[in-house]
DNA sequence: CCATGGTGAGACAAAGATGTCTCACATGGG
DNA sequence: CCCATGTGAGACATCTTTGTCTCACCATGG
């Protein structure tokens, strides 16, 4: 064993289990602990050694989702350049986590008060702040509230993730579809 | 009793139960049969007399959702006038059913092959057809596929329904928020 | 070689939800 | 008044999932 073996191999294992669980629960949000274990290639006993129970697993997934969102927000450099470009960078950065986000987004409709509400609130604020910046600079229209634009972004991310996983949308179009609809809408523009 | 009493009162009762269940499951998608019964003001036994089981209840809700969608599609007269106006009418007509739609939309991520797939396919086709008409007439841009626009509409309806139920968006803004984002996007338009 | 620790398989009880049943009660018609 | 029908309350068995436990196995390091 040794401390290094523990902290290193376990951490890698745990991360692998977490990502397998995310991939499975994205497709089947009611998957059993046994199914999660099999999907990760481990036994239910070992799964329980990593996560005390289903709640703990979902909490860990929530933490992972928050972490990846924050990382995407950082990588997108929301404060730099035109807000529209920042939105584009944000969607591109957040795409790999979209499936997980969709799972957590629908899961959170259930646990009203529980969960890492503070973590999500912070993310909501950062995204809403981006839209607010775009409104103040005159790039974005002001009759759609930042809160709604944020919510709409979540909804479009979830829709796109499902549409891609069911083959209704090509994976390579993911970012383009979301960004163009969110920013430009469906109506044809004369100006551009 | 009497046959009329049965077929009439039962039907009303059944409809009332169905709508109570829809309202509850919209907020708490994992609600128990007991909770559904209490929400409808009846006992679990009576609930079981109306619907053989939870599956039957969800199936009935799915049928109700399909029915209301079709009704909204009919009322919106998708073939008349500019496609953009038809989209506006559609969202306005479908608003009362948005909560139920959101529930079914996320529920259907689970039952892959099951359910009234044919009913949904027909609705998908009608909505996608509306977007295709708008593209052909030159109203809508052609780089966003009708399938994606349809999916996005579902996602925005679900997002808006949740945002309203959690107080993040005013109920009266429901239609405006969705239509303006879906058609016009967040970017400010020079022309209008 | 042997000891240690992680793992898989499976047994087990507990908890929750479901489906079925019985029984008492009320209401409305004959 | 009496009977029939729908209803509510609750008991009950069943099923699924969960959480805990034990035990045999195996790989790795000493």
pLDDT tens for each residue of A21-44: 999 998 899 999 999 999 999 999
Distance, in Å, from the CA atom of A168 to the CA atom of A170, rounded to the nearest integer, reads 7
Q: Is the pLDDT of residue A95 over 50?
A: yes
Q: Is A190 contained in some domain?
A: no
Q: Is B102 contained in some domain?
A: yes
Closest C-alpha to B28, from B98, B95, B107: B107
Residues of B in contact with A144 (CB under 8 A): 177, 180-181, 186
Which of A86, A102, A186, A192 is the mutation pick for testing B, counting most B CBs within 10 A?
A186
Distance, in Å, from the CA atom of B75 to the CA atom of B70, rounded to the nearest integer, reads 9
- The larger pLDDT score, comparing residue B50 to residue A1, is at B50
**A36, A78: one domain:** no
According to DSSP H, which parts of A77-183 are helical?
Answer: 83-94, 98-107, 117-136, 146-165, 174-179
**B68, B30: one domain:** no
Measured CA to CA in angstroms, residue B56 lies from A40, A183, B99, B115, B183 at distances of 33, 41, 19, 11, 37
* Residue A185 near chain B (CB below 8 Å): yes
Average pLDDT (A91-112) is: 89
Q: Is A62 contained in some domain?
A: yes
Distance, in Å, from the CA atom of B141 to the CA atom of A19, rounded to the nearest integer, reads 37
**B103, B149: one domain:** yes
Residues 6+ apart with CB under 8 A from B100: B22, B26, B61, B64, B65, B68
A179: nearest CA in chain B? B185
**B37, B85: one domain:** no
* Residue A2 near chain B (CB below 8 Å): no
Q: Is the pTM of this model over 0.85?
A: yes
Provide the pLDDT for residue B4: 39
> Domain boundary at B51, B68, B85, which?
B51
Average pLDDT (A132-137) is: 97
Given a contact cutoff of 8 angstroms between Cβ atoms, the answer to whether B73 and B123 are in contact is yes
Provide the pLDDT for residue B93: 98
**B41, B64: one domain:** no
Q: Taking a contact as any Cβ pair under 8 Å apart, which residues of chain A between 88 and 147 contact chain B?
A: 106, 109-110, 131, 134, 138-141, 143-145, 147
CA to C1' distance (Å), from A103 to C8: 29
**A73, A139: one domain:** yes
Q: Is A174 contained in some domain?
A: yes
Residue A110 C-alpha from the chain's centroid: 17
pLDDT tens for each residue of B69-108: 999 999 999 999 999 999 999 999 999 999 999 999 888 7
Q: Is B30 contained in some domain?
A: yes
**B17, B76: one domain:** no
Which nt is closest to the CA of A45, judged by C1'?
C8
Burial degree of B66 (CB within 10 A; 0-12, 13-18, 19+): buried
The three-class DSSP label of residue B187 is: strand
Distance, in Å, from the CA atom of A112 to the CA atom of A17, rounded to the nearest integer, reads 26
- The larger pLDDT score, comparing residue A35 to residue A109, is at A35
Q: Is A88 contained in some domain?
A: yes
Residues 6+ apart with CB under 8 A from B143: A176, A180
Q: Is A61 contained in some domain?
A: yes
CA to C1' distance (Å), from B49 to C27: 19
Provide the pLDDT for residue B8: 46
* Segments forming the whole domain that contains residue A16: 1-51
Looking at the DSSP bridge assignments, the partners of residue A187 are B140
Give how many domains chain A has, as a whole number.
2
**B139, B177: one domain:** yes
pLDDT tens for each residue of B5-64: 344 455 668 999 999 999 999 889 999 999 999 999 999 999 999 999 999 999 999 999
**B67, B3: one domain:** no
Residues 6+ apart with CB under 8 A from B51: B17, B57, B60
**A128, A98: one domain:** yes
Sign of CA dihedral B91, B97, B101, B103: positive
**B79, B16: one domain:** no
- Rounded to 5°, angle at Cα B189 from B185 and B192: 115
CATH of the domain at A75: 1.10.357.10
Q: Is A121 contained in some domain?
A: yes
- Rounded to 5°, angle at Cα B166 from A66 and A76: 30
Provide the pLDDT for residue A117: 86
**A36, A72: one domain:** no
Residues 6+ apart with CB under 8 A from B185: A180, A181, A182, A183, A184, A185, A186, A187
pLDDT tens for each residue of B111-168: 666 677 899 999 999 999 999 999 999 999 999 999 999 999 999 999 999 999 989 9
CATH of the domain at B26: 1.10.10
């Amino acid at each position: 064993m040794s401390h290094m073996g523990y902290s290193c191999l376990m951490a890698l294992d745990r991360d692998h289990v977490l990502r397998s669980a995310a991939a499975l629960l994205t497709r089947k949000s009611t998957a059993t602990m046994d199914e999660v274990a099999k999907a990760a290639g481990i036994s239910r006993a070992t799964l329980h050694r990593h996560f005390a129970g289903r709640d703990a697993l979902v909490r860990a997934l929530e933490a992972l989702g928050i972490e990846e969102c924050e990382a995407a927000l950082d990588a997108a450099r929301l404060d730099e350049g035109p807000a529209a470009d920042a939105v584009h960078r944000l969607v591109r950065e957040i795409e790999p986590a979209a499936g997980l986000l969709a799972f957590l987004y629908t899961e959170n409709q259930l646990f009203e008060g529980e969960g890492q509400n503070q973590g999500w609130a912070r993310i909501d604020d950062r995204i809403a702040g981006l839209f607010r910046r775009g409104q103040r600079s005159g790039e974005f229209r002001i009759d759609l509230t930042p809160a709604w634009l944020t919510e709409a972004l979540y909804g479009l991310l979830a829709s796109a993730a499902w549409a891609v996983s069911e083959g209704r949308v090509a994976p390579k179009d993911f970012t383009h579809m979301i960004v163009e609809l969110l920013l430009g809408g469906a109506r044809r523009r004369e100006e551009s």
